[in-house]
Structure 1
Amino acid sequence: MSFVKWIGAAIGWSFGGPIGAIIGIALGSIVDNATDSSPLLGERQAGKKWRRNPHQRTTYQRQRTQRPQTRSGDFEVSLLILASVVIKADGKQDQRELDFVRQQFTNMYGKERANMAFRLFKGITKQNISTRQVCMQIKQMMDHASRLQLLHFLFGIAKADGLVTQDEIKQIYTIAGYLGISSRDYESIKAMFYNSTNNAYKILEIEKTVSDDEVKRAYRKMAKKYHPDRLSHLGEEHREGAEEKFRQVQEAYEHIQKERGFK
């Protein structure tokens, strides 16, 4: 599959708005660097199509009043852009974090698609990105369950080098706010990546002082929120990531059950 055809077939609403502009610049740098003998030469003109006519209404602009279903490709490019923001948060790009992104994309999409995504990712990391504008587009166009999955992945990137810096935490917190993710949901997902005595309670979004019945209600609520079926529209490639969050909710509940001795 050619690079441009992969992009064109994979995305929907992310073709427009600030995300589309970022993709266009990254794609343009790829085709502009191609030599006359390169297989990408035939894509050079196609790449120019991404330089949007300012008078042309985009898919993003037309659909602002309704939220279309997020495609796997929309999630993919949103993830690439936000990953680049987090990786640069501490002022450097750690190879372990880059390797984590590549490995996760390989696990989700296969080697060929992951390689194409990583080429695009390199073009994205060279740009100065308005985090607020990108996140506002994602918030408006992407469902809540998918946004939670984005946040889970971003914490995974930050933790990939074994040390989550305060700059990375601050950046992810800012992203969560722009994405319309509540502080409770943010703390719940954050707790999945840290070890502390109250982590199980944070994952279930409750205080340690609640009753056993409240623990059970919280578990049912969180199990519903993080159920993998909520991300089925993203395709089978994202099921493993969805199941990971769901599994951590189950483990948190089982930990509290054992600690309190109830069934």
Structure 2
Amino acid sequence: MDAERTMGLLSRLGDLISGSAAAVGNAVAGMRGLVAGLSSRDTRKQVAFTIAMVALSAKMAKADGVVSPPEIDAFCRIFTIPLGEERNVSRVYNLAKSDIAGFESYARDVRELFPDDPTMLEEIVDGLFHIAKADGAVHERELAFLARVAELFGFSAEEFARISARHIGGETDPYLILGADRTWDNATLKRHYRRLVVENHPDRLVGHGLPQEFIKIATDRLAAINAAWDDVARQRKIA
């Protein structure tokens, strides 16, 4: 029964926003009741995640004024379109990408879909970063868009700086990437690092049913954490 209802949700979402792109936020609010009606918690999370990625990805790509082919390709790799739902996904995406209007209310709705799951919200921000840099750089307006989405998701400025440090090139502070305090002793740092490895291991995403591209993003995130730890361990001579 859940599978049948899941397949119809994107069609209903397309009907809800067929009037204008700015109605995406209201559409998601209307979809919340449909999502809540699904009996499986995992199915609810997957459907909510699907809706989040379709609309926010489109608006993310539009943030710098141009939706480029690499950004669309990145979206298609991240988001696995259910068989038979191609037209509905395309319809929702094209409506959403026409402008960035309503993205703040939409981001608030997304946070409500994952009230006790900041890890999933960070996955969404990571996915948006992946799309933003698909054309070779994260542009200033895209970074501002991402910062505001992260704020609406409940992340502090320091937490957003930690997330963005993994995606934006240049010299970065390893303590920032680790979310660690320089005043911590070596034992505390090592415990913190080990917890990060467990929390960010790609295998954790397999059980969530996320697309393969998200496994790659998680692998890159873990690589950044490991590289930052290597820098800190070398500086402190931690064995």
TM-score, with length taken from structure 2: 0.73
Q: Of 58, 83, 88, which aligns to 2:33?
A: 58
* 1:101 to 2:75 alignment: yes
> Partner amino acid for 1:258?
R
Residue 162 of structure 2 aligns with an amino acid whose one-letter code is S
Contact 1:22 1:124 in 2 (8 A): no
Tell which structure's C-alpha radius of gyration is larger: 1
| Structure 2 equivalent of residue 157 of structure 1 | 131
Q: CA RMSD in A?
A: 3.8
C-alpha distance in structure 2 between counterparts of 1:147 and 1:97, whole Å:
20
Shift of 1:163: 1.9
What percent identity do the matched residue pairs reach?
Answer: 21
Q: Does 1:24 align with 2:12?
A: no
Contact 2:55 2:96 in 1 (8 A): yes
Q: Measure the CA separation in 1 of the matches of 2:223 and 2:84.
A: 27
Residue by residue over 1:138-195, the C-alpha shift from the partner in whole angstroms, topping out at 9 and shown as x without a partner, is 1112121110000011111111111222111111000001111233331221111123
Give the Cα–Cα distance (whole angstroms) in 1 for the partners of residues 32 and 86 of structure 2.
31
Contact 2:13 2:92 in 1 (8 A): no
**1:9 matched to which residue of 2?**
6
Is residue 116 of structure 2 the alignment partner of residue 140 of structure 1?
A: no
Cα pair 1:187 1:202 within 8 Å, conserved: yes
Indicate yes or no: 2:223 matched with 1:247: yes
CA distance in structure 2 between the partners assigned to 1:241 and 1:114 by the alignment? 25
Distance, in Å, in 2 between the alignment partners of 1:114 and 1:207 is 46
Residue in 1 that maps onto 2:93: 121
**Rounded Cα–Cα distance in structure 2 between residues aligned with 1:156 and 1:259:** 30
Q: What is the CA-CA distance between 1:62 and the residue it aligns to?
A: 8.3
Aligned residues: 223
Q: Matches of residues 219-230 of structure 1 in structure 2 within 5 Å? A: 219-228=193-202, 230=204
Residue number among 67, 70, 75 corresponding to 2:49 in the alignment: 75
* Amino acid across the alignment from 2:74: F
* Cα 1:204/1:190, change in 2 over 3 Å: same
* 1:58, distance to aligned residue in structure 2 (A): 2.9
Cα shift at 1:113? 7.3
Partner of 1:175: 149
- Report the Cα offset of residue 24 of structure 1: 3.1
Unaligned runs of 5+ residues in structure 2 are: 21-26
Partner of 1:130: 102
Judged with a 3 Å threshold, the aligned counterparts in structure 2 of structure 1 residues 7 and 80 are, in CA distance, closer, same or farther, namely: farther
Matched AA of 1:160: A
**Post-superposition shift, 1:114?**
9.0
Are the counterparts in 1 of residues 63 and 100 from structure 2 also a CA contact under 8 Å?
no
Q: Structure 2 vs 1, CA of residues 236 and 91 (structure 1 numbering), >3 Å: closer, same or farther?
A: closer
The alignment partner of 1:90 has SS state of coil
- Measured in 2, the distance between the counterparts of 1:174 and 1:93 equals 19
Q: Which 5+ residue runs of structure 1 have no aligned equivalent?
A: 30-50
User: Structure 2: which amino acid aligns with 1:134?
Assistant: Y
Using structure 1 for the length normalisation, give the TM-score: 0.68
Q: Secondary structure at the match of 2:135?
A: coil
Structure 1 residue 134, shift from structure 2 partner: 1.2
